C-alpha cells in the first residue's frame, strides 16, 4: 500500500479519470493487495473521512476543488479460472481492479460466452456490477454469479449471490446503497460517493462456445448481417462492437507516441441514462422517438438480455435522441467551437473535455442539456456519471 498524506503532492483526479478534470485529493492510497484496500477503507471510515474508491475513473466527474478525503485506487489485477467444463461452463473470478476489457477480450479468446457485446467498455471489473453495465443488448447481470464485498456498515467481508444484488437498468443493490432512496432502505445511507459495499472480487459464470449470445440490438445485428435474436461468432461480435464504440468516441484514448489526442474520447461514457417513462408520457412525445420495452425480470442465463415479461406501464426511450431533438447537436458547446467542454462530435450522449475544460465547464454543459430536454419534452435526464463535489 502506498499512502500519500495531505502534506505531499498527490495525483490530481484529472490524472485518474477519463474526463481528465478534477482537483487533488487530501490523501491517496494505491492498493495492490486486498488487505491494503480493506485497511484503507476501514481507516477512512473510522476517522469519518470521505471516501472515494476509484478503478478506471471512467464514470466520474470530480470538482475542480478536488476531493477533501481519501481516494483509494484499486490497482489489483489477475483473472482466475476456477473451473471450465461442458456441464458447468466456465467459472471465472477477478479482483475489482482488473481491467474490464481485458477480461472481455479473454472471454472471447477462451470461448466464454456472454460479454462479447460489452467489449471496449472502459473501467474495471469492480464497477460493472455496481452499474449493472450494459451495451448493445447485453447486461453483465447475465453472467455474474457472485460479488464479494467489504461491508462498511458491518465491517466485514460479505458475498452476494446474483439473486441478492437486486439488479435493474443501470443499477443494483450496491449502487443504491450510495443514496437515501436505496431499495431496500438502508438506514445508514447515503454512503456516497462510494457504496456501502466496496467490491473486492467478482465471480462470473459463462456458457462455453464460439458463437455469441443472441444479438439483442438492431444496430449491432445489422453490422453483423444477422437478425436480432440470432447468433454470430463471438470474435466477430467483439470486432463489430469495438468498431461501433470507436465510431461514437466511446473507447479509451490511447494515441501513439507523438500522436494527437482524440478529445471525443475524453469523456465519462454516456453522461445520462436512457430515461424510463410512463407509457402515457411516452405517448406525448413525437411519434418517431425511440421506444424500447422494459422487462421486469433479470437475465437468468448468460445467453443474452432479460426475457421476462414486458412491463406495460413504462417505456424506455433514447437520451441521445432527446438531446439531439432538443437542439443540442453533435459538437454543441455553450460558446460554440471555443467551448472547453462540448458534446462529442460523434455522439450526443457524451460530454467531452476538448483539452482545457474544468469540472465547472462540464457541469454547465450538462445542466444546459438536461434543462433543455426537460423544457422541450418534459423528461428530466438523470446522470449515469457519478458526480463528486458537483451537482446539476
For the cut 50, the answer to whether the pLDDT of residue 301 exceeds it is no
Per-residue pLDDT tens for 25-77? 999 999 999 999 999 999 999 999 999 999 999 999 999 999 999 999 999 99
Q: Which of 93, 212, 270, 302 is catalytic?
A: 270
For this structure, is 384 an active site residue? Answer: yes
* Distance between CA atoms of residues 70 and 218, nearest Å: 43
CA distances, 232 to each of 119, 136, 219 (Å): 15, 14, 14
Cell of 343: 458534446
Domains recognised in the chain with CATH numbers: 2-74 (3.30.43.10), 80-220 (3.30.465.10), 263-388 (3.90.78.10)
**Which cell goes with 258?**
507523438
Among 177, 181, 155, residue whose Cα is nearest residue 164 = 177
| Catalytic residue, candidates 30, 34, 201, 384 | 384
Over 158-171, what HEC string results?
EEEEHHHCCCECCE
pLDDT on residue 51: 97
Is the pLDDT reported for residue 300 higher than 80?
no
The reply to whether 148 belongs to the active site is no
* CA 373/CA 368 separation, integer angstroms: 9
At residue 8 the predicted structure's pLDDT band, cuts being 50, 70 and 90, is very low
- Over 50: is that where the pLDDT of 306 sits? no
- The grid cell for 309 is 415479461
* CB neighbour list of residue 87: distance below 8 Å, 6 or more residues apart: none
Residues contacting 267, CB < 8 A, separation 6+:
18, 19, 249, 250, 344, 350, 351, 352, 353
Q: What is the pLDDT of residue 258?
A: 85
Q: Rounded to an integer, what distance in angstroms lies between the CA atom of residue 141 and that of residue 28?
A: 31
Residue 270 annotated as catalytic? yes
Asked whether residue 324 carries a pLDDT value surpassing 90, the answer given is yes
Q: Model confidence over 235-274: pLDDT tens digits?
A: 999 999 999 999 999 999 988 888 899 999 999 999 999 9
pLDDT at 297: 47
pLDDT of residue 7: 42
Backbone angles phi, psi at 202, to 5 degrees: -120, 135
Percent of the chain having pLDDT more than 70?
93
pLDDT, position 179: 85
How many Å apart are CA 234 and CA 240, to the nearest integer?
Answer: 10
Q: What is the pLDDT of residue 3?
A: 55
Task: Say if residues 268 and 61 touch (Cβ distance below 8 Å).
Answer: yes
Percent of the chain residues topping a pLDDT of 90: 84
Quickly tell me which residue has 483509494 as its cell.
72
pLDDT at 9: 54
With a threshold of 0.75, does the pTM exceed it? yes
Catalytic position from the list 20, 148, 170, 370: 170
Using the predicted structure, report yes or no on whether residue 372 has a pLDDT greater than 70.
yes
Interval 117-159: pLDDT, tens = 999 999 999 999 999 999 999 999 999 999 999 999 999 999 9
Average pLDDT, the chain: 92
Amino acid at each position: 500500500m502506498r499512502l500519500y498524506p495531505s502534506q505531499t503532492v498527490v495525483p490530481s483526479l484529472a490524472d485518474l479519470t477519463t474526463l481528465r478534470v478534477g482537483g487533488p485529493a487530501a490523501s491517496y492510497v494505491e492498493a495492490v493487495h486486498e488487505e491494503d484496500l480493506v485497511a484503507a477503507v476501514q481507516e477512512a471510515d473510522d476517522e469519518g473521512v470521505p471516501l472515494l474508491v476509484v478503478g478506471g475513473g471512467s464514470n466520474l466527474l470530480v470538482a475542480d476543488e478536488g476531493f477533501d478525503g481519501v481516494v483509494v485506487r484499486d490497482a489489483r489485477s489477475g483473472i482466475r479460472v476456477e473451473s471450465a467444463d461442458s456441464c458447468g461452463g466456465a467459472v471465472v473470478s477477478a479482483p475489482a481492479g482488473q481491467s474490464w476489457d481485458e477480461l472481455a477480450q479473454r472471454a472471447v479468446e477462451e470461448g466464454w460466452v456472454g460479454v462479447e457485446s460489452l467489449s471496449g467498455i472502459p473501467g474495471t471489473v469492480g464497477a460493472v456490477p455496481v452499474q449493472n453495465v450494459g451495451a448493445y443488448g447485453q447486461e453483465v447481470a447475465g453472467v455474474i454469479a457472485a460479488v464479494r464485498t467489504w461491508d462498511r456498515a458491518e465491517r466485514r467481508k460479505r458475498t452476494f449471490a446474483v439473486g441478492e444484488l437486486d439488479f435493474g437498468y443501470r443499477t443494483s443493490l450496491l449502487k443504491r446503497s450510495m443514496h437515501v432512496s436505496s431499495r431496500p432502505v438502508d438506514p445508514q445511507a447515503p454512503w456516497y460517493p462510494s457504496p456501502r459495499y466496496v467490491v473486492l472480487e467478482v465471480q462470473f459464470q459463462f456458457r462455453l462456445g464460439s458463437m455469441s449470445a443472441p444479438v439483442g440490438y438492431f444496430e449491432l445485428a445489422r453490422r453483423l448481417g444477422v437478425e436480432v435474436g440470432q447468433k454470430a461468432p463471438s470474435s466477430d461480435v467483439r470486432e463489430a462492437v469495438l468498431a461501433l464504440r470507436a465510431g461514437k468516441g466511446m473507447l479509451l484514448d490511447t494515441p501513439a507516441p507523438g500522436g494527437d489526442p482524440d478529445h471525443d474520447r475524453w469523456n465519462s461514457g454516456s453522461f445520462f441514462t436512457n430515461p424510463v417513462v410512463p407509457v402515457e408520457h411516452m405517448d406525448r412525445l413525437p411519434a418517431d422517438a425511440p421506444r424500447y420495452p422494459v422487462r421486469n425480470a433479470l437475465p437468468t442465463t448468460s445467453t443474452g438480455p432479460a426475457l421476462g415479461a414486458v412491463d406495460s406501464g413504462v417505456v424506455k426511450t433514447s437520451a441521445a435522441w432527446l438531446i439531439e431533438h432538443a437542439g443540442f447537436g453533435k459538437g454543441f458547446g455553450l460558446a460554440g467551437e471555443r467551448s472547453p467542454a462540448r458534446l462529442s462530435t460523434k455522439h450526443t450522449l457524451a460530454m467531452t473535455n476538448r483539452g482545457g475544460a474544468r469540472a465547472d465547464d462540464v457541469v454547465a454543459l450538462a445542466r444546459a442539456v438536461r434543462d433543455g430536454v426537460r423544457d422541450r419534452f418534459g423528461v428530466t435526464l438523470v446522470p449515469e456519471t457519478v458526480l463528486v463535489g458537483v451537482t446539476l
